[in-house]
Amino acid sequence: MISEGEAKLLEKLGDKWVNARELLGKKDISVVMSTISWLEKKSLVEVKDNLIKNYSLTEEGKRYLNEGLPERRVFDMIKETGRIRIRDVPPDALKISIIWLKKFGAKIENGAIIIEDKKRVNEGIREHEEALKHVKNLKEKEVIKNLLRRGLIKERESVERFAKINNKGSEALKDYKEKGKIVTKITKEVIERWQDYHFKEYDVKMPVRGTSFGRKHPLRIIIDEIREIFFSMGFEEIRGNFVESSFWDMDALFVPQQHPARDLQDTFYLKRPSKIKIDNKEYAKRVKLIHEDGGDTGSKGWQYEWSYEEAERALLRTHTTVSSIRYAYKNREKESFKAFTIGRIFRRENPDPTHLPEFTQIDGVLSEKDASLAMLIGILKHFYAEMGFKNIRVKPSYFPYTEPSLEVDVYYDGNWLELGGSGVFRSEVTHPLGIINPVLAWGLGVERLAMLRYDLKTIKELYVSDIEWIKSCKLI
C-alpha cells in the first residue's frame, strides 16, 4: 500500500530514468529524496546515483581572469623578438611564467627565455585562459589537472539521483487509483463514515529509522586514542600556530632556502601577513652560519648565501615539526624533555586517493642523555602496537633535518604501508639551539591510520558528510 505523496511521485516517473530534481514541483529536495528512498525500500522503483564534478574559480583564479595570466604578460613581451632576458621579466611574474612557458614549449638558454614556436606557446596559454572563462564547462582532464595544481580552480563533488518506476511500482499505482484515496489520518468524519474509506495498511516488518545519538566523528575518536597513548608514555602535549615564518618551518630545521619544498607549487605562502619577523636575531645568526658553511659543527652546510628576507616569508605550516623545534628552543636549557602535538598542516598538493592539501599530523620530540635510535624505534613500535598493528618495521630513509632517518611501515591486508618518518635531529639543527643531548623526532599521518582502521579506499571518505557512515563506525 502506498501513500498519496508516493502515488503522486510514481505518476511522474516513467520507465525511463528521471532526475530527482525534475520531480520537485513545490516540494524541497529532501522531501523528494525521502519519498524515493521509501519507494526503493518497498521495491517499487529503481534508483541510481551519478557522481558529478563541478569546478569554480579560486580567488587567485578570479584575479588572473581579470588581470591576465603571468605567462600571457611575458609572452606579449616576447612575441615580437622571440626572446627576453630573464632579468627583464617583472619579478611578480617570473617564477610562474617560466614554469608554464617551458611547459608550453619555450626554452631557457643563457639567461633568457626563448620562444621558437610562438603558435604552440600561444595555444597553450589560450587554453588556460579559455578554461578560466568557462570554468563551469571544463572537460579536458589535463587542463583541469593543471589549473587545480596551480590553485586557480577548486573541485566540488555532488551526487545526482535518478529513479524510474518498475513493474511492481506500476501495479501499486494502479491499485491505489482503483481504491481511491487512502486514509492515513483518523478524523471525526472518518470515524463516522469509516465504511466509505480505504485505510492504509501498516507493515510491522517494514524497516524504520532507529534512534540516533550524537557522537564523535571517527577521525576525532582516533585522535583522542593517539593522545591517550602518548599521555600513557609520559609525553606532554603542545600546540602551535597554523601561520608560521619560513624560518621556523624550514630554516631552523636545516632545510635549504632553494629546496623544492619551498616552491610556490608546494607551499601556501601568505599575502597578509606576507612576512613574520624573526624573534631571536642571535639564534637566527647561528642558523645562518650553519646553512652557509656549517659553522663550527664540522659540517660544510649548504654552501649558499642565506637570506633573512626569505626566512621571514609567512606561510601555512607544512608540518607539525615546526611546533617541535619551537618547543625544543624554549626547553633548550633542560636536561631532558619530551612532547607531542597533533594538528592540521597544509601543503599545495593535488587531491588524490591518499592526499589532500590539508591534513592532520602527529609529531613528537624527545631529548635526554641516553636517547638513541633504538629508543626511537621502541617508541614507534609501541605506539603502532597500541593502535592495533602487530607487524611493524622500520627502514632507512632521508630527511634534511634528521640523520639517521627512518620510515615506519605497518603490514596491512597483505602489503607493507608507509605511515610516517622519523629520525635523530642532525647536529646542524641542535647545535644552534645549544642542545648537547640527542633529540629524537617523528612525524606520522593521522588520516592514513584512519583509512586503515575504517577500511577506506580514499582519504576524501573521511570528510564526506555521510551521517550514516559516521553512525555505522565502531566506537573502538
| CA distances from residue 52 to 158, 175, 391 in whole angstroms, order as listed | 5, 37, 40
Percent of the chain with pLDDT over 90: 33
Work out the average pLDDT over 347-353.
Answer: 74
User: Is 15 within the bounds of a domain?
Assistant: yes
Q: Which helix (H) or strand (E) holds 420?
A: strand 415-425
Percent of the chain with pLDDT over 70: 92
Are residues 270 and 286 both part of a single domain?
A: yes
Q: What is the CATH number of the domain that holds 170?
A: 1.10.10.10
pLDDT, one tens digit per residue, over 229-280 is 999 999 999 999 999 999 999 999 999 998 887 776 678 999 989 999 998 8
> How far is it, in rounded angstroms, from Cα 330 to Cα 252?
13
Confidence band for 424, pLDDT divided at 50, 70 and 90: very high
Q: In this structure, are residues 417 and 271 in contact, taking their beta carbons and an 8 Å threshold?
A: no
| Cα 413 from chain centroid (whole Å) | 24
> How far is it, in rounded angstroms, from Cα 253 to Cα 402?
9
User: Is 209 within the bounds of a domain?
Assistant: no
User: Is 321 within the bounds of a domain?
Assistant: yes
| CA distances from residue 421 to 363, 402, 406, 437 in whole angstroms, order as listed | 10, 10, 6, 21
Which residue's C-alpha cell is 630545521?
253
> Which amino acid, one-letter code, is at 433?
L
Predicted TM-score of the model (pTM): 0.54
pLDDT, one tens digit per residue, over 183-209 is 667 888 878 877 766 666 666 776 666
Verify cis geometry, omega within 30 degrees of 0, for the bond prior to 273: yes
- As a whole number, the mean pLDDT across the chain is 85
Specify the pLDDT at position 25: 66
User: Is residue 350 over pLDDT 80?
Assistant: no
pLDDT, one tens digit per residue, over 49-106 is 888 888 889 998 898 888 888 888 888 888 888 888 888 888 888 888 888 888 888 8
Work out the average pLDDT over 346-356.
Answer: 75
Are residues 323 and 430 both part of a single domain?
A: yes
Nearby residues of 375 by Cβ (< 8 Å), 6 or more positions away: 366, 440
User: Is residue 338 over pLDDT 90?
Assistant: yes
Specify the pLDDT at position 461: 78
Lowest mean pLDDT among 29-38, 157-166, 190-199: 190-199
Look up the domain containing 78 and give its range.
59-151
> How far is it, in rounded angstroms, from Cα 361 to Cα 450?
12
Domain count, the chain: 3
Cell of 78: 616576447
User: Is residue 476 over pLDDT 60?
Assistant: no
Are residues 417 and 326 both part of a single domain?
A: yes
Are residues 126 and 39 both part of a single domain?
A: no
C-beta atoms surrounding 113 within 10 Å: 24
Specify the pLDDT at position 313: 93
Cell of 113: 627565455
